[in-house]
């Protein structure tokens, strides 16, 4: 397919199926659903992409909103198919994911970096390289690495969930700025709109 030089691909990460719908690890899916609803859209399955997709525009910029149909550790398989099918370069990819190193209610934008133990990011890095944007949605940390798997595969408490959803609202506003105003402007808006706290809830760098 011909190159879509100005298209923004937004991928929310999660595990498919009702069993995982409420998990902390699925906040990327939550964000994708919330953004689609905000834009008045609905997802449709796209077998050729191994994903659900919504096509539309944000602030006049063409957008492909994606929820991979693969499990988290194979997310890159679907993302690579989307980029190849539409002829979209990796720098035009925004991946939305849960972030253990940020407290619930905190959201941060950045470009590049490692996977930090996140299996979805690990697979996307393997298939696409590091030069993509990330919207990191804080879910907090259970306190010990041995507790992480069980923690991310369970639902947050009511207060945590409310804070995460509030951060998503700020994230949606930042995506609208990103679509037309660029990364720096979007980062400035988002990082001033959500708290500067780390996973423990302590005051920390905006990072």
For the stretch 109-130, pLDDT in tens is 999 999 988 999 999 999 999 9
φ, ψ for residue 47, nearest 5 deg: -60, -35
Assigned domain for 207 exists: no
Assigned domain for 199 exists: no
Tell me the β-bridge partners of 94: 10, 133
Assigned domain for 125 exists: yes
Supply the pTM of this predicted model: 0.92
Mean pLDDT of 181-200: 84
Q: Is 144 a catalytic residue?
A: no
pLDDT digit string, tens, across residues 24-44: 999 999 999 999 999 998 999
pLDDT digit string, tens, across residues 53-75: 999 999 999 999 999 999 999 99
Residue 148 in contact with residue 142, Cβ under 8 Å?
A: yes
**H-helix or E-strand spanning residue 56:** strand 51-58
Assigned domain for 182 exists: yes
Assigned domain for 130 exists: yes
Half-sphere exposure of 66 (CA within 13 A, CB side): 31
**Cα radius of gyration (the chain):** 16
Mean pLDDT of 144-160: 96
Choose, from 20, 25, 141, 191, the residue flagged as catalytic. 25
Residue 201's pLDDT band (boundaries 50, 70, 90)?
Answer: low
Assigned domain for 97 exists: yes
- Residue with structure tokens 């890095």? 125
Rounded to whole angstroms, the Cα distance separating 97 from 23 reads 12
Cα 132–chain centre separation: 11
> How many domains, in total, are found in the chain?
1
Assigned domain for 204 exists: no
Residue 207's pLDDT band (boundaries 50, 70, 90)?
Answer: very low
User: CATH code at 111?
Assistant: 3.40.50.1470
Question: By residue range, what is the domain housing residue 56?
Answer: 8-193
Assigned domain for 3 exists: no
């Amino acid at each position: 397919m011909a190159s879509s030089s100005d298209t923004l691909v937004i991928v929310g990460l999660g595990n498919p199926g009702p069993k995982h719908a409420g998990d902390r690890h699925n906040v990327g899916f939550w964000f994708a659903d919330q953004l689609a609803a905000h834009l008045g859209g609905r997802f449709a399955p796209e077998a050729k992409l191994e994903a659900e997709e919504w096509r539309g525009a944000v602030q006049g910029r063409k957008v492909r909103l994606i929820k991979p149909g693969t499990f988290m550790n194979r997310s890159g398989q679907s993302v690579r198919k989307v980029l190849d099918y539409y002829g979209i370069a990796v720098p035009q990819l925004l991946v939305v994911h849960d972030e253990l190193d940020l407290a619930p209610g905190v959201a941060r934008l950045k470009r590049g970096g490692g996977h930090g133990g996140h299996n979805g990011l690990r697979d996307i890095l393997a298939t696409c390289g590091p030069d993509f944007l990330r919207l990191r949605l804080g879910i907090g940390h259970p306190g010990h690495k041995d507790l992480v798997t069980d923690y991310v595969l369970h639902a947050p408490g009511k207060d945590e969930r409310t804070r995460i959803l509030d951060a998503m609202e700020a994230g949606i506003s930042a995506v609208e700025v990103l679509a037309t105003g660029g990364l720096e402007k979007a980062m400035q808006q988002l990082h001033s709109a959500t708290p500067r706290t780390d996973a423990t809830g302590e005051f920390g760098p905006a990072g």
